[in-house]
């Protein structure tokens, strides 16, 4: 399992498992609620919800599911909502290619990862072939 | 100063205490010593009775709490069942396609578009287009809270398939927040005709209808003239 360093002080808000399409919807709704609670407007709520939706779908489609951590932490003097997606899937061979617009290894449009990156304030990705992929995104007001 | 201890029938009374304690231990919470004798030992007997009273009360309380918990658990399990049932119902909710005007179909999409639902939705729409011969269909996504690349992809595919059948699709009900999100995602929906509200889409569709009628009317005038020549 690939994990990010713990340099940010965060408070855990929830831990979820993505196993099916229904989980994608419920966890996505939970995150929308957390965003709302954090005082984000409708545009920011929609952005983070859509970004996590892309990540969850990737986990579900390519890795058969994974784990989601939702945290709140202080990042660059912002009160950030932090979502970490961890899967033990096949991993991404060429991260640079995966992060470029229009590239897809499956049936998608190829805008999932780069699109999610544009929707949030900070985007981090770790991946190792045959080990898995971890993505951490942060969004603040 | 010497103290004398005044106890009568000590042997029988100790036996009785043992009997009572044994019955209580066996579950008879009604058993009490209830001695009638008044002497130095009767205090101990009364104390034992009091202890049994307390114990009975405690047990009663515990049973009550346990029953409450059980009934609560039952309720929760029932609710869980209802929730599961509703989830299934929601997933099975197919999207209805209705003809609202001459030549105009409306497909209101509410909730989440997963791959299964989109498939049903697309099939319904295409089927209805063929059945009714309508050439304009409005897909209203006011009730879709999240449009990610997969949903956008499904919408694009549906519109393309409808176009292959000769029907123009209009997507309405894209909220400002979703519009911004789609732009950031980088999805190009410029090949699709979109309107902000269902009303706008309806007005557009009716104007389109009128134009088609005019063209048809023109044809009707032109064709007899051709024959006359």
pLDDT of residue B1: 45
CATH code for position A125: 3.30.565.10
* Contact between B177 and A43 using a beta-carbon 8 Å cutoff: yes
* Number of domains chain A contains: 1
Closest CA–CA distance from residue B47 to any residue of chain A (Å): 53
Burial level of B145, CB count in 10 A (0-12/13-18/19+)?
A: buried
Nearest residue on chain A to B88, alpha-carbon basis:
A22
A36 within domain boundaries? yes
Task: Determine the average pLDDT of the residues in A74-92.
Answer: 91
A2 within domain boundaries? no
Q: Looking at the DSSP assignment, which residues form a beta bridge with residue B136? A: B104, B168
- A interface test, pick of B146, B155, B156 with most A CB neighbours within 10 Å: B146
ipTM value, please give it.
Answer: 0.82
Residues on B contacting A at a C-beta cutoff of 8 Å: 87, 91, 112, 114-116, 145-150, 152-153, 175-178, 180-181, 184-187
Residues B120-151: pLDDT tens digits?
Answer: 888 889 999 999 999 999 999 988 888 888 88
Q: Is B145 helix (H, G, I), strand (E, B) or coil?
A: coil
Residues B14-38: pLDDT tens digits?
Answer: 888 898 899 988 888 888 888 787 8
The list of chain B residues with pLDDT below 70 reads 1-3, 88, 90-94, 221-229
- Alpha-helix residue ranges (DSSP H) falling in chain A: 21-37, 42-63, 95-98, 112-119
Per-residue pLDDT at A5 exceeds 90: no
A77 within domain boundaries? yes
A6 within domain boundaries? no
Structural domain that includes position A73: 13-139
* Contact between A50 and B146 using a beta-carbon 8 Å cutoff: yes
pLDDT of residue B191: 87
A4 within domain boundaries? no
Measured torsion, CA atoms of residues B87, B89, B92, B95, in degrees rounded to the nearest 10:
-110
- Chain B CB contacts of A42 below 8 Å: 175, 177
A95 within domain boundaries? yes
CA-wise closest residue to B184 among A141, A109, A49, A118: A118
CA-wise closest residue to B152 among B107, B108, B182, B121: B182
Q: Looking at the DSSP assignment, which residues form a beta bridge with residue A44? A: none
Helices vs strands, H then E, count in chain A: 4, 5
């Amino acid at each position: 399992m690939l994990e990010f360093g713990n340099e940010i002080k965060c408070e855990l808000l929830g831990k979820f498992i993505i196993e099916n399409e229904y989980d994608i919807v419920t966890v996505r709704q939970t995150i929308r609620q957390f965003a709302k609670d954090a005082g984000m407007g409708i545009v920011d709520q929609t952005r983070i919800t859509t970004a996590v939706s892309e990540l969850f779908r990737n986990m579900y489609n390519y890795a058969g599911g994974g784990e989601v951590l939702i945290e709140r932490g202080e990042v660059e003097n912002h009160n950030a909502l932090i979502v970490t997606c961890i899967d033990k899937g096949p991993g991404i061979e060429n991260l640079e290619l995966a992060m470029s617009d229009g590239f897809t290894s499956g049936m998608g449009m190829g805008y999932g990862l780069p699109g999610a990156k544009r929707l949030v304030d900070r985007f981090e990705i770790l991946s190792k072939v045959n080990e898995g992929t971890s993505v951490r995104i942060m969004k603040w007001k | 100063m010497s103290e004398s201890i005044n106890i009568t029938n000590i042997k029988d009374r100790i036996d009785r205490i043992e009997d009572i304690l044994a019955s209580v231990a066996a579950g008879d919470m009604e058993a009490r010593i209830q001695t009638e004798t008044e002497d130095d030992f009767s205090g101990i007997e009364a104390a034992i009775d009091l202890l049994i009273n307390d114990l009975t009360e405690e047990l009663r309380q515990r049973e009550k709490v346990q029953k409450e918990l059980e009934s609560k658990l039952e309720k929760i399990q029932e609710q869980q069942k209802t929730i599961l049932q509703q989830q299934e119902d929601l997933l099975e909710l197919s999207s209805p396609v209705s003809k609202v005007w001459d030549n105009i179909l409306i497909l209101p999409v509410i909730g989440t578009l997963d791959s299964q639902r989109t498939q049903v939705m697309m099939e319904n729409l295409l089927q209805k287009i063929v059945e009714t011969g309508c050439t304009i269909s409005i897909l209203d996504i006011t009730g879709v809270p999240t449009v990610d690349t997969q949903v956008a992809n499904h919408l694009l595919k549906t519109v393309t398939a409808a176009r292959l059948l000769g029907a123009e699709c209009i997507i309405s009900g894209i909220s400002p927040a979703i519009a911004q999100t789609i732009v950031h995602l980088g999805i190009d929906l410029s090949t699709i005709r979109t309107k902000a509200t269902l009303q706008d889409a309806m007005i557009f569709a009716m104007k389109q209808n009128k134009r088609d009628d005019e063209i048809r009317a023109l044809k009707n005038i032109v064709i007899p003239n051709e024959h006359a020549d």
